[in-house]
Structure 1
Amino acid sequence: MPIPQSLSEKPIIALGSWLETPAGSYVRAWEQARLDALTSDIFGFNALQIGLPQIDALQSSRMPNKWLSDTQLPGKSLDGSRPPVVVVHDFAELPFASHSLDLVVLPHVLEFAPEPHQVLREVERVLIPEGQVIITGFNPASLWAVRQAVGRLSGAPFLPPHVEFISMPRIKDWMKLLNLGVNRGYFGCYAPPFSREKWLNRFAFMEETGERWWPYLGAVYVVQAIKRVKGMRLIGPAWNTRMAQVQPQGVPATNRIRRLRQIK
């Protein structure tokens, strides 16, 4: 059953249709490759992708249980199929038990959420200790953000009009308050904000150049964090303690002197 409009997020579904454009396909290809590389190395049992079913963020995950959730059931695609959304809910209230998920992926969800802090708090709640979260977003310090600002003034925004840019440093600050330690961060899509595929292809060389000369000015970013729990520490094997108990103890020098005096 669809979530009422008053409880749902801003129309992130507009981003889904934008991803079908040449510029959107360019972003989707980069994010898909980066998400595949990250999720393939994360182990556990339960993984969740929240929103944006146009990107299969968990396709390379090795976890046995993988779910996709959204604020509403998506419409059928051109071939008549329907993306496998298994849970419909408000992003600010995740219908999962605390400490139940090993991995949560948020593709551009925070940028369309009325309360991004609450969404992130819910993610922290459902993650197990040492669980991981991956977030993708548009970089406000990029040519794409400048194009979006100019487009809003002229009434022709380049990106969906409701997107609210959130910088990676700001995301890191929010995570730090929730004991989510940032593990990795990447920027990508350095080509200028062109609408036509041929121009994006002509500037494909800027991917390598941008990573080398202006690495923080990519159009999009991916950040990965791990849930840290204070007071927890790794415990070594129990046999180390047993060996320490049976290990022969040295005789203090003072005891030896006393024994020599008694013999004399």
Structure 2
Amino acid sequence: MRHATPAGIRSWLEGDRSRNLIALETERLQACLHRVPGYRILQIGRWGVPDDTLATCPMLCRWVADSQPDTPVDIRFDGRTLPLASGSLDAVVMPHSLELMPDPHRLLREVNRVLSDRGQVVLLGFNPYGPWALGQRLRRRGSGYPAADRLIALGRVRDWLQLLDFEVTEMRRFGPGCPWLPRSGVSLPSTAAYWLISGLAPAYLVTARKRVVPIRPIPNRWRVRRPALVGRGMPEPTARSGHSRRDAA
């Protein structure tokens, strides 16, 4: 079952080409989610991913958030700010969320905020240099395909993640329409020939992990030494107290 999406994309999702793409994306997502440790995961946006995609994830708590008013989700938000506490999630799945939300860079900063230490993010995106996007620019594919000016290149997504101090662990290009590519796509970096061929793939997947730098306390070498105490009894009276040692004897 698929839920409502923006009107410009809803009709495109019913086509054969989009169904083949969604099947490949679901396959790649499930393969990635089985390797992600943790207990709490959030999916931002419905796109066309089936409802049971997160059900195969071994995490205990699973939620879906979206900004569309007619989409049944667990969390409704404005597309910019997530109503979640900082460090409360172990993983975030974003199926084309950066392309459909009004402020993609701000949303990515929010994802960084709500992820815990060593939390991971899984991103799906369209290749703005692929044949589908080029056809959209030439107005040959109709209005169903996402607008080409909203698509974000793989290199830019990688740069955004690195600026937020993420460690990119996987970059993969895949999609139907490229008979020279295997079904699972091509993991980057790859050979020069596959790099050129994969440049025509309509979609990509990125996984990244938060990079936490451990803080080691610097020892204080200039600590002032306390003088050692001489004896454990009371100090002897001196002549200043009005008595001499001979008088005390």
Matched with 2:203 is 220
49, 57, 61: which one aligns with 2:57: 61
Amino acid at match of 2:136: Q
Gaps of 5+ in 1: 1-10, 76-82, 193-204, 234-264
Matched with 1:23 is 17
| 1:181-234 deviation per Cα after TM superposition (whole angstroms, max 9, x unaligned) | 111011111506xxxxxxxxxxxx44339847412321000100001122359x
After superposition, the Cα gap between the structure-2 partners of 1:186 and 1:20, relative to the gap in structure 1 and judged at 3 Å, is same
Task: Show the 5 A alignment for 1:4-83.
Answer: 12=6, 14-52=8-46, 54-56=48-50, 57-74=53-70
Distance 1:101 1:16 in 2: 30
150, 155, 164: which one aligns with 1:178: 164
CA contact (8 A) 1:49 1:104 kept: yes
Gaps of 5+ in 2: 187-192, 217-249
CA contact (8 A) 2:39 2:60 kept: yes
CA contact (8 A) 1:190 1:217 kept: no
| 1:11-58 deviation per Cα after TM superposition (whole angstroms, max 9, x unaligned) | 745434422211210110110000010001112110000111531442
CA contact (8 A) 1:149 1:157 kept: no
Distance 2:213 2:10 in 1: 38
Shift of the alpha carbon at 1:162?
7.3
Q: Supply the RMSD in Å over aligned alpha carbons.
A: 2.4
In the superposition, the TM-score normalised over structure 2's length comes to: 0.73
Distance 1:13 1:62 in 2: 33
- Percent identical residues: 36
Distance 1:190 1:23 in 2: 7
Moved segments of 4+, more than 4 Å:
209-212
Amino acid at match of 1:62: P
Which structure has the larger Rg?
A: 2
Amino acid at match of 1:65: C
In the superposition, the TM-score normalised over structure 1's length comes to: 0.69
Distance 1:227 1:113 in 2: 22
CA contact (8 A) 2:8 2:145 kept: no
Matched with 2:236 is none
